[in-house]
Amino acid sequence: MNRYKLIFNYAGHLLVLFIAYYTLLHSSPAHSMQTLVLNTAVGAPVSNESQTGFADKVVGEALRRIGYKLQTVRMPAERALINANRGIDDGDLLRVAGLQKKYTNLVAVPEPVMNVDIVLFSKNQPDFKVAGWDSVASYSLAIISGWKIMEKNFGKLGDKVEMIKTDNAEQSFTLLIKDRVDFVAYSSWSGLNYLKKRNITDVKVLSPPLASPFFYVYLHKKYKKIIPDLAVELKKMKKDGTTQTYFDEILKPLMQ
């Protein structure tokens, strides 16, 4: 009798341990969090492959707070939007407002992640006076294909401006350094980071900015239910100092 009681107790202990292990395993963040795949064409220091850029950290933390894990996929700007709109991937990490008019399956999270200065970089014209998009008329410039705010505004100038579209910052700045274009139009943070990493000192950022738009996360409409919660967390992070901490760590050093 005692032998059977001992076996029963032993089996009972094993069952309890198994249930405890199973509960722990499946309640851990690694198993409970769904991964959201967001495309991006944005470069460092805003986003990078190791997901330690400013937008990576901000969006990643906001998603973590609502039970999701961020995974970014880097691809050309136009293809990133097409894939996200088709639902091949779950959304786009960082874009200007209004893209849902063309990409109708995408929904913007209403709380902005950041605002970014769109600026001109110049090698041979450091004293050029920037006076809006029209000021580049009769000049040549390079932009990255798929950056909608630039394609739209420079496109209004028609033949008045020579606009060369490139695949990435490397191509754009190479054209500038080799005197193939007068300007590169790019985001201030990514441009400054590019120049600093390569110790390029003869290219200057011009002021004032062409524009300083807010940038937003876009999700495929199948995730529209989580958009309000994600917006709330992005706003909370600004209030609790998390966003400022990331700014001080990642972006502020480029201002020095």
Interval 136-146: pLDDT, tens:
999 999 999 98
**Rounded Cα distance, 251 and 229, in Å:** 26
pTM of the predicted protein model: 0.80
State pLDDT tens for residues 78-132: 999 999 999 999 999 999 999 999 999 999 999 999 999 999 999 999 999 999 9
Identify the pLDDT of residue 2: 52
State pLDDT tens for residues 209-248: 999 999 999 999 999 999 999 999 999 999 999 999 999 9
> What does the DSSP 8-state code read for residue 178?
T
- Find the mean pLDDT for residues 8-34: 52
> Which domains, and CATH codes, for the chain?
33-115+215-249 (3.40.190.10), 118-205 (3.40.190.10)
**Rounded Cα distance, 93 and 199, in Å:** 28
Identify the pLDDT of residue 25: 44
Task: Provide the 10 A C-beta neighbour count for residue 136.
Answer: 24
State pLDDT tens for residues 68-82: 999 999 999 899 999
- Find the mean pLDDT for residues 148-174: 95
Has residue 19 got a pLDDT over 80?
A: no
- Find the mean pLDDT for residues 161-183: 96
Tokens of 109: 């999270």
Judged on CB neighbours under 10 Å (0-12, 13-18, 19+), 230 is buried
User: Which has the closest alpha carbon to 72: 91, 54, 88?
Assistant: 91
Residue 24 confidence class, pLDDT cut points 50, 70, 90: very low
**Rounded Cα distance, 146 and 92, in Å:** 13
